[in-house]
Structure 1
Amino acid sequence: MIPSRVAGFEELLREGRLCASRCRGCGYTSMPPRADCPACLSAEWKWVERGGAATLYSFTTIHSAPVGFSAPYVIGVVDLDEGGRLMAPFPRGTADSDVRVGMRVQVVVSEGRYELRAASSDHPI
């Protein structure tokens, strides 16, 4: 097996940190992290922490889940305020009627994974 140059991303998630890779050559930030810069092709980069505030770009409800998951569950694609796009699930029990494109969400890291939580007046982003 070939080791990944961004394998540290998993360790950062286990620590509860959401990080992107930033190119040391041109400053381009990739989320999810990439080992090589798509802008200048440099292989020199560093970790930068992200806040997790985002806007929901798209979502779907999974009705037929892969092995190890139980359906149904809602999964979304978000545009992070600090740049980058990623896909993550909403908490179990979230109905698709509770979710809408354009809503504000927070990417929350817990137990080495990230999930999406809707912003509310009690917990604004």
Structure 2
Amino acid sequence: MEGRRCWEMSSNIETELYLAFKSGKVLLGAKKVIKRLKSGESPKLVVIASNAPESLRREIEYLSKLSGVPLLRYQGRSLELGRAFKRPFFVSAAAILEEGESRILELLGKEVR
């Protein structure tokens, strides 16, 4: 399974997500991600939690595809995605605007779609 290879290194992904959050620029929250995708200012990567509402997931997938932005389907739930960013709340989606010192883009390579 294609996505499975990506998640064998899940702890690395979570570490890199947090590093991007601390040293780069990351938007947390589906509304902010959708707004950014609609604005034409494309993020470098969009991350969506496995339990994001279907309508939200479809809209983000559609907009990221239109914008040519890679989409990472995070296998954890929104609470776990929030924890990956060391936040005590649910995060359905996030957008990496600048990865900072993180190597998330090279770690994931072409496996994000």
Q: TM-score range by the shorter chain?
A: under 0.3
Query: Greater strand percent: which structure?
Result: 1
State the TM-score, normalizing by the size of structure 1. Answer: 0.23
- Structure number with the bigger relative contact order (C-alpha 8 A, sep ≥ 6) is 2
